[in-house]
Amino acid sequence: MVAVTAEYISIGCNKITQAAAWGLDGTVAYAADSLVAIYHPLDKSSEGVLVTLPGHKNRVNCHEQNQTNVAIVSGSADGTAKIWKRDPSGKWINSCTLTGHSAGIDTIACVRAASIDDSHGDLIATGSGDGTIKIWRRKEEDEHKDGYECLQTIDCGVKYPTALALSYLPGTSIPILAAGNTDRKISIYIYQPISDAFNKSLALPGHDNWIRSLQFATYTEDSESPSSKASNHTLRRGDLILASGSQDKYIRLWKVTPEESSGQQPSKGPEATGDADGGVLTKDMLEALEESVKTGESMQLSTKAHLFEVFDKDQSKKRYTIMFEALLMGHDDWVYSVCWQAPTVVKDANGQERFHQPMRILSASSDKSMMIWQPDPESGVWINEVRVGEIGGNTLGFYGGLFSRDGRHIIAHGSNGSFHLWHNISTDEDLNHWVPEVSISGHFGAVEDLVWDPQNLFVVSASLDQTCRVFAPWNRDMDGQKTATWHEMGRSQIHGYDMQCVAFIDKWRYVSGADEKVMRVFDAPRTFIESLAALTGHEELESQAESRPVGANLPALGLSNKAVFEGDASTLTGEDGDEGTMQSYAHPSATPASLLQTLEHPPFEEHLMQHTLWPEVEKLYGHGYEIRCVRGTHDGRLVASSCKASTPEHAVIRLFDTKTWNELETQLSGHSLTVTKLEFSHDDKYLLSVSRDRLWSIYERVESEQGVTYALRSQAKAHARIIWDCSWSHDDTLFATSSRDKTIKIWTKAEGSSDWTCVSTIKCTEAITAIDFAPRLINDKYVLVAGLENGEIQLLESQKAAVDQWQVVSTLDAQLCHVGVVNAVAWKSDNASTLQFASAGNDHAVRIFNVDFS
C-alpha cells in the first residue's frame, strides 16, 4: 500500500483584481493560474495552501464567497463560473458550473445584506468580457450537486463590466445590483417584481477612470446611541451604503435610502451640487476639487439625490434615493479594491442579538499601501486610521485587500503573487498596532526546473517569472510539539530573463540558465546559511558560513547580484560620504542592517525581494542560443550544458571546469536538435543526454593528463517523438527515457556488453514530461515517479529481478496534482523512512510530497 500526501504546495496568486475572497469560515480562496487554491491564513501552524481545485480550462480571474453557506464561486477566462462546496467528508467539490458567457468572466458578486432571503436560492451575478451581466439562481439539490438557472442576461453594449455588487434595498428583500463599467459610471439595476427582471434605473457619474471594485454594506448604527445623536453625518439605521474604488485614485461612498428618510428633496436638475443635509461637501472634498482644477483634471462632487421607483406585483410603489455620501482620498495611485469589514452578531443593552455592520473599509492600491477607513464618531468624516504596505522594491502594489471576520487581520495579494498578512495585536479595540505575520508566496509563472541541494535541506526552483526561489522547512516547537512547515526562505536570483534550468555544483553553489546565452553561478551568502541553520534546527551549518559575503545587492539597471561584505556597510549607508554622488542605477537594493539579520521566522515578501539574493560569482559563456539544460557532476568538478538548437553545430553539449570556470576544449556532439535533458550517473562515469531529435546518447568519462572529459560511447533512436526527460537508477544499472509518444522506456546494459538495450516499454495515457528514479530500492523494488503532460503524477515500480515488468502503484489525487505540463520531478536523496519528492509545473506550482510505502 502506497500513501502519498502533500507536504507543501507553493503557488502564487494571479496578478489581477478580485483574485481572492476570505470566507466567514476563515477560508481564503484565490486564483492560481487555472486553479482555485484553498488557504487558511489564521492557521496557527502556518501550513499554507491545503489543496488546489482543478476544473477551469483557463486562467481564473475572480472569486467570491457567499454569505449564507460556505460556497466559493470562481470565474475564469474560459467563460465559465464554478461553484465549490465541501461534501460530507470535508473534501471540496465542484457542485455546478455556470455556462453561457462567450468570453472570460472578469467579476462576480454574491448577495451581501443584513438578512438574506435564500428561500429561492442564492443570487449570483457574473460580468464578462462579452459585454453582458448574467444573473443566476443557485439552489442546493443535495450534498454533492447544486442546480442553477440563468434568470436574466443584461446587455451592457460596449461598456464592459469591471466590478459588481449585489444586495437588497433597505428594509426589503428586493435585490439591487451595482455594476462598474468601462464608461466610468456605476450602473444601478433594480429588480422589479412586476416584471420579474432587473431594470436599469440609474447611471451614477463621478469617477474619472475605470471602476475596479464595488461592495455594499448595511448601516446598523443605533440612532438612540449618544454618539449618533451628536454626529453630523447623514446615515441612518438600515441605509444601504455602496463603496466604489476606481483607477482615478479615489473611493466614493453612495447612500441608498427610502425617500421619506433621505433628508433631501430629489433634485430635478442634472447638475445640482448643494451641500445638503449637514454639509456633505467636506473640507477634503473642496481641497480635492481645487487641486483638480489646478491640474486640469475633472472631478464631480455632485450630491444630487437620484430618485428611482420599485413597483410591486400588486401595483404598489416604493420610492428610493441614492446619493453621493463621501469621497475618500489618500491613495497616490489606482485603487484596486474596497472591502467592508464582515458583519457580526452583537448583543444590545437588552441582551438581544442583532446584526451589526462595522463601519470600516479596507482599500488596496497600486501605490503599495492598504488603508483602513472609519468615520469620525462626532463629525462623520471618513479618515484613514491605518496605513500598511511596502517600502522600496520593484513591486507594482496590491491588487486586493481583505478583512478577516473579526477585523483583527487583513491580507493583501500583490504583483509578485504573494500574500501579505497583518495582525492588530492591540488588546484595546479602539487602538491600532498592526504587525506583519508569516504568509504564503509562490511563483507567478511556469516553473521550469527544480533541484534538491546536495545536503537535502532545501529545494531551488527556476521559473518563467524570472526568479529562482529557495524553499525549506521551518522546524520549531509549538505547544510542546515539533512542527515543520515549508516556506520560501530566499529569492536567490531575480533576473531580467525567463529562467529555464538550475543545477547544484556543491553544497552552497548552483548554476542557472535562462533565455540568454550566459549561465550564471551563485554562492550562498552568510546570512542565508545562518538563517537556514536557525529555522531548520541544523545548527551545525553555522560553521560553514564563515568568510562568506553577508548578502548581495542587485543594481537598479543590472542583472548581476553583487556580493556585499561586512566592510561594505559604510559604503552602502553613505558613511564615507559617497552616496550623494552615486548614480541612480548604482544604488543598492538592500541595506546592511537587513543583510546582517539572521531570521527567526520565514521572511516576508518585502524581505524576500530585497534582502535574500545570492551573490553571483561567475558567468559561463559559449552557447550561441538560449540555455535549455544544465547539470553538474556529483563530485562538483564539471558542469554540462545545452542550448536551443536547430542544427548539429549548436546541438552540442559544453563542459566547464568548476576550478577555472573555463570551457573544456572537447564539445560533445552527437545530436542534431535541442538537447532537452542531461543527467550524470551517480558515480559520474556516464553522461546521458536526450534530445528533440528522438535520440539518447551516452558519454563515458575519460581521464587523462589534460584533465577530465567525456566521449560518446552509445547512441540509439529511442522514441517516435521528442524525448523530454531521462533518469538514472540509484545503482546506475538502469536508465529511463520519457517522450511525447506517451511511453517510458527502461534501458539496461547486458553484462560484458557496451550496448544498452530496451527491456521495457511502459505505455501511458498522456505524454510523459518528467521522470525520476527513487534514491534507493523500496521493498527490493525500483520506484519511478512520472509527471504527465496533463499534470497527473504517477508512481511506478518493478521488482529488482524483473525490470521488464512495471506497474502503476499510485496515481495522485487531482487536488494534489498539477494542471498542465509537469516540467520536473526530483526525489530527496536521504535515508528517511518516508520518502519525499518535489515537482514543478506549468501551473506555477512547486509541490512537495511524502510517500509512505509501508
Q: Residue 428 falls within a domain, yes or no?
A: yes
Read off the pLDDT of residues 654-703 as tens digits, 9 standing for 90 and up. 999 999 999 999 999 999 999 999 999 999 999 999 999 999 999 999 98
Q: How confident is the model at residue 301 (pLDDT cuts 50, 70, 90)?
A: low
- The pLDDT score that the predictor gives to residue 564 is 82
The burial class, CB within 10 Å (0-12 / 13-18 / 19+), for 617 is middle
- 526-546 burial string, b = 16+ CB within 10 Å, else e? bbbbbbbbbbbbeeebeebbe
Q: What single-letter amino acid sits at 205? A: P
C-alpha cell recorded at residue 599: 531570521
C-alpha cell recorded at residue 521: 553561478
Q: Nearest 5 degrees, angle CA 629-CA 509-CA 738? A: 30
Q: What single-letter amino acid sits at 55? A: G
Q: Is the pLDDT of residue 502 over 80?
A: yes
- The pLDDT score that the predictor gives to residue 230 is 38
- How confident is the model over 479-501, as a mean pLDDT? 93
Phi, psi (degrees; rounded to nearest 5) at 853: -95, 5
Whether residue 786 contacts residue 796, with contact meaning beta carbons closer than 8 Å, is answered with yes
Residue 274 to residue 594: CA distance in whole angstroms: 53
Whether residue 201 contacts residue 187, with contact meaning beta carbons closer than 8 Å, is answered with no
Q: Is the pLDDT of residue 1 over 50?
A: yes
Alpha carbon separation from 489 to 94, 537, 600 (Å, rounded): 34, 14, 11
Mean pLDDT, the chain, as a whole number?
88
- The pLDDT score that the predictor gives to residue 577 is 47
pLDDT exceeding 70 applies to what percent of the chain?
Answer: 88
Domain boundaries, position 403: 336-440
- How confident is the model over 126-142, as a mean pLDDT? 94
Read off the pLDDT of residues 40-80 as tens digits, 9 standing for 90 and up. 999 998 999 999 999 999 999 999 998 877 899 999 999 99
Q: Residue 579 falls within a domain, yes or no?
A: no
- The pLDDT score that the predictor gives to residue 173 is 87
Q: Residue 825 falls within a domain, yes or no?
A: no
Q: How confident is the model at residue 786 (pLDDT cuts 50, 70, 90)?
A: very high
Read off the pLDDT of residues 720-779 as tens digits, 9 standing for 90 and up. 999 999 999 999 999 999 999 999 999 998 777 778 999 999 999 999 999 999 999 999
Ordered strands of the 835-841 beta sheet: 3-11, 845-852, 835-841, 822-827
pLDDT exceeding 90 applies to what percent of the chain?
Answer: 70
Lowest mean pLDDT segment, chosen from 359-373, 541-555, 578-592, 742-756: 578-592
- How confident is the model over 550-555, as a mean pLDDT? 78
Q: How confident is the model at residue 222 (pLDDT cuts 50, 70, 90)?
A: low
> Cα dihedral sign for 807, 811, 817, 821?
positive
Q: Residue 424 falls within a domain, yes or no?
A: yes
- How confident is the model over 337-347, as a mean pLDDT? 89
Q: Residue 731 falls within a domain, yes or no?
A: no
Q: Is the pLDDT of residue 261 over 60?
A: no
CB-based contacts of 463, cutoff 8 Å, min separation 6:
443, 445, 446, 447, 448, 469, 498, 499, 844
Q: How confident is the model at residue 171 (pLDDT cuts 50, 70, 90)?
A: confident
Q: Residue 828 falls within a domain, yes or no?
A: no
Whether residue 36 contacts residue 29, with contact meaning beta carbons closer than 8 Å, is answered with yes
Q: Is the pLDDT of residue 606 over 50?
A: yes
Lowest mean pLDDT segment, chosen from 107-116, 212-221, 473-482, 645-654: 107-116
Q: Is the pLDDT of residue 582 over 50?
A: no
Lowest mean pLDDT segment, chosen from 191-205, 245-259, 547-561: 547-561
Q: How confident is the model at residue 394 (pLDDT cuts 50, 70, 90)?
A: low
Residue 325 to residue 276: CA distance in whole angstroms: 10
How much is the pTM?
0.90
Of 154, 143, 220, whose CA–CA distance to 187 is shortest? 154
Higher pLDDT, 757 or 573: 757
Higher pLDDT, 653 or 609: 653
- Going by their DSSP bridges, the two strands 344-347 and 353-356 should be labelled as antiparallel
Q: Residue 572 falls within a domain, yes or no?
A: no
Q: How confident is the model at residue 13 (pLDDT cuts 50, 70, 90)?
A: very high
Q: Residue 368 falls within a domain, yes or no?
A: yes
Q: Is the pLDDT of residue 623 over 50?
A: yes
- Going by their DSSP bridges, the two strands 211-218 and 240-246 should be labelled as antiparallel
Alpha carbon separation from 347 to 224, 324, 427, 624 (Å, rounded): 15, 31, 20, 73
Q: Is the pLDDT of residue 229 over 70?
A: no
When divided into structural domains, the chain yields a total of 1
Residue owning grid cell 476639487: 289
- The pLDDT score that the predictor gives to residue 450 is 97
- How confident is the model over 398-423, as a mean pLDDT? 94
- How confident is the model over 695-715, as a mean pLDDT? 92
Residue 434 to residue 408: CA distance in whole angstroms: 9
Residue 839 to residue 11: CA distance in whole angstroms: 12
Residue 490 to residue 478: CA distance in whole angstroms: 24
Phi, psi (degrees; rounded to nearest 5) at 605: -60, -40
Q: Is the pLDDT of residue 226 over 50?
A: no
Q: Is the pLDDT of residue 570 over 70?
A: no
Q: What is the signed CA dihedral for 839, 841, 843, 849, rounded to 10 degrees? A: -10
Q: What single-letter amino acid sits at 541? A: L
DSSP for 370-382? EEEEEE-TTT--E
